Amino acid sequence: MKKAKDTAQITGQVRRIPLKEIVPSKDNPRKVFNPEELNELAESIKENGLLQPITVRPFDSKFAKFEIVCGERRYRATQLTGAEEIDCIVKELDDKSAFAAMVLENLQRKDVDPMEEAAAIYKLVNSFSTDISQVAKMIGKSETFVRSRLRLNGTIEEFVDLMHNGPLVLTHLLEICKLPAEQQKTLYECCFTPECIARWKYKFPNIPQLKEMIETNVLMQLSKATFSLVDETYDGHPACEGCPLNTKTNPNSESGVLEPRCMNRKCFMDKTLQRVFREAKKQSVDTEIVYQGTSAENEELIKKANEQGIKVTPMGIRKYVVDPIEPKKDDFTEQEFYQKRHNNWKHQKALFDIGIKEGNIVPVYEIGYSGHLSGETKYAYNLKESEGGGDIEKQKSQELLMKYKESLLSIDEKREDEKIEELRLEMSHSEYGNLNMSMSSVENDILIALLFKHLPYEFKQKLGLEWTIGKESWKENKNVLEKNRNSIKREFIRMALSDKSVNFSKDLQGMLEGIMQERYDSVLTEVDKKLVEKYKNIKTNLKEKIAGFKKSSKDKSGSQKDEKTVVKK
C-alpha cells in the first residue's frame, strides 16, 4: 500500500475530511450493516452531531486519500445525512496494525456476528502470521476461544445460514464445526433439510439431541443402530460383532472400545434399510405401508420396496395424529407441575384411545419421507388416499368428529370447573371471616394444608411428602400434616420473617425480634453485644472528630481575635 504525501503533518489529530476522499477497507471484518440501525444513527448525527470521530489511515490511490480503520458504520450513517465532511483521527498504520484495530473494534460490539469474528481471527493468524497466544492477548480472550473461532471457519454454508435465519445458534455450530466438511454435509442431508426440520418434535435441538444426531447419522455409533449387531442374515453383510470395520475389534483409542463405531457408512445404512423393509413386511398384513412426500422424491425407496414385494402408498393429504407421550415423573422437581402435565396427558390419551378403538385413527408404517429413510409406526386418520388427490371433505369430517368426541370427553371436567367457579364466588362474598368461633377439625386441617402448599419444595421433601393437586390431597395427607403441624407453622413463620420485606416493616421487625427472643435468645444477645460494641466505637470516633472540629474552629477564632488586637495597637 502506498502512503499519502506529507502524512507527518496530518496524523494524530482530529480533522474534517471530505467524505469523497475516504473509502471503506475491504478487510473490515464487519460485512453486514442493518439499514434501519443506520437510519437511526443518521438521525442521531443530524440531531447531536458525530460524538466519536472515525479513525482513518493515509491511502494513496486514484479513488481516495484515506482508508477507514474504525468507524465504517458512522461513515455510512454520515453519508445518509447528506454531509460532505466527517471528523477523523488520522493514524499511520501498516496493514497488520490497521486490521488488528478493526478486529478489536468489531469484537467490542454487542451484535458481533460470530462468522465475521471467526473470519477476522483466521486472517490475523494466517495472513498476518500472528500466533494464537498473541491473538488471544490482543483481543482479550482465552486461547481456547481463539481456537474455537478458528474451527468455526470450517462450517459449511448450509449451517451458517441456519444460524443466521434459525433454528440454530452459535452453540450448535461450535459442535458441528468439529466435523470435517464432508461429514457436515451428511449431517445436514440426514437431519437439517427443510423436510427434516418440519418433522422435529422440538423448536430446535439441544446439545444432547444434536450429539445424538451426529452419533447416529455421521459417526455410525453402533449403540444407536436400529438393527441387531449379532444378526448374520443381512444380505451381503456380516454381523457387526467381530467385524474388522467395527472399532471395537480394531480400536485406535479407548473411545473406539467404549463407543464402538462402524467404519463403513454404506454397510451401516444398507443394514438399516433392510431392517426397515423387514419390519414393513411384518406389518403389511394389518398395517398400511406409506411414504410421505411425492413419488419423485421417494422414487428410490419405492423401487426398493417393490423389489422386496412390499406395496407402498402415499400419505397424500392425510395428517398424522400424535400418540401422546406420558410425562416422566423424574423430569419434574415440583410434583404439582408433574400432576398437571400428567392430567393433561391422561385426557389426550383417552381421546386418542377412543379414536383407535372406534377406527377413526389407524396405525401406518412409514418407510420414508421426501427421500429420507424413517421406518416408524405412526398414526393417521382412517382414509385411503391416492397421491395428488383425496377426499378433503372426508378428512375434515374425521377431524370434526374427533373434536366432538374431545368435547364429549371434557364435559364432566367443564361442569366441575363451573361448579368450582360458583363456589369460589360464593366464598369471596361470604361472611366466613367474621365467624369468630372455634375452628372445626376440618377447618384446622385445611389451614395446615394451605400453609403447607405454599412452603418451599425442599421443606416438603424433608417431610417425605409429595404434594399432588388432587382434590382429596388434603385428606390423603392428613396424618402426615397432623404429625408435622407445628413444623409447618414454624416453617411458614421462618419464610415470612426471613423475607427482605422485613427490612422495611416495623411490625414484622418486632415479630422477628419476638421469635428470636423466644427461641434463639443467645443469638439475639450475641448480635446485640456485637453491634453495641461496633456502634460504640463508631460513636466514639464521631465524637472525637466533632470535638477536634470544634477545637480547630475555636483556635482559628482566637487567632483571628489576636490579629485584630495587634492591628488596633
Determine the Cα–Cα distance for residues 9 and 127; give it in Å rounded to an integer: 31
Q: Are strands 14-18 and 85-90 parallel, antiparallel or unpaired?
A: antiparallel
**Strands lying side by side in the sheet with 14-18:** 14-18, 85-90, 54-58, 66-70, 22-23
Q: What one-character DSSP code corresponds to residue 108?
A: T
CB 250 within 8 A of CB 327: no
Of 224, 370, 226, give the one whose Cα is nearest residue 291: 370
Catalytic residues: 72
Three-class DSSP category at 366: strand
Q: What H or E segment, with its residue span, contains residue 47?
A: helix 35-48
- Cα atoms in the 13 Å half-sphere on the side-chain side of 450: 6
Determine the Cα–Cα distance for residues 34 and 11; give it in Å rounded to an integer: 31
Determine the Cα–Cα distance for residues 536 and 490; give it in Å rounded to an integer: 35
CB 234 within 8 A of CB 269: no
The alpha-helical segments, DSSP class H, found in 227-378 are: 254-258, 265-283, 299-307, 335-357
CB 190 within 8 A of CB 374: no
- Does 194 sit behind a cis peptide bond, omega within 30 degrees of 0 on the bond before it? no
Determine the Cα–Cα distance for residues 471 and 453; give it in Å rounded to an integer: 13
Query: 56 pairs with which residues across the strands?
Result: 68, 90
- Measure CA 145 to chain center: 20
Query: 86 pairs with which residues across the strands?
Result: 17
| Alpha-carbon radius of gyration of the chain | 38
